Chain A
Amino acid sequence: AQSVTQLDSQVPVFEEAPVELRCNYSSSVSVYLFWYVQYPNQGLQLLLKYLSGSTLVKGINGFEAEFNKSQTSFHLRKPSVHISDTAEYFCAVSEAAGFQKLVFGTGTRLLVSP
């Protein structure tokens, strides 16, 4: 079984500052990794995914993440945040085979202030 840990429930940051949202996972098999963002009263939007290949993954809205197999981490980064990045961010993992469910972390609320 897989599990995901997002240690930070909330991350406050000033506009134009860099940010890193941490995600660690646990799995005994190969996995796919994802970051989703959720704005108020909306569903989940895919930011980026790691399926295979390069460990540095670039996504939408200037976000990127690095897959680190030895540290079982998939941290999300953005060099300069905007007010509009204020949202809830979810890290998710699934087995890399068949019709596998997504297992989500508890989420990190990113609060960007001016």
Chain B
Amino acid sequence: KAGVTQTPRYLIKTRGQQVTLSCSPISGHRSVSWYQQTPGQGLQFLFEYFSETQRNKGNFPGRFSGRQFSNSRSEMNVSTLELGDSALYLCASRLGQANVLTFGAGSRLTVL
């Protein structure tokens, strides 16, 4: 059974640009969550989608957005990138409200 797949694994952007990260959940999982990991702030929750609806949202500015498609794949977008957006972005999926998340390997974003 394939795990959670995140693309791209590494990317470099410059300030002011935007970026889109993709996440394919485990087959059959309908919930996808996104977390940001930085050395200074640690692991912080961005948002969670279930059946194409945002169910929960963290305390991030509106530059951070996401969506989920009918096949449960999810994308997150960060617009007007800032240096502080450099981070490992982790996606996780779960079957439903079971609260056991399975994480992908992450997308490492570097903003120059």
State whether A44 and B97 are in contact (beta carbons under 8 Å apart), knowing that A90-B43, A99-B48, A99-B56 are contacts in the complex.
Answer: no
State whether A104 and B42 are in contact (beta carbons under 8 Å apart), knowing that A43-B103, A46-B100, A99-B48 are contacts in the complex.
Answer: yes
13 residue pairs A–B, Cβ–Cβ below 8 Å:
A32-B99, A41-B105, A42-B105, A43-B4, A43-B104, A90-B43, A101-B48, A101-B58, A102-B35, A102-B43, A104-B43, A106-B42, A107-B42
B56 engages A100 (CB within 8 Å): yes
Interface residues of B, Cβ cutoff 8 Å to A = 4, 6, 31, 33, 35, 42-43, 45, 48, 50, 55-56, 58, 90, 92, 97, 99-106
Which chain B residues border A96 with CB–CB below 8 Å? 99
Interface residues of A, Cβ cutoff 8 Å to B = 32, 34, 36, 41-46, 49, 51, 90, 92, 94, 96, 98-107
A-B Cβ contacts below 8 A, count:
51
Which chain A residues border B90 with CB–CB below 8 Å? 43-44
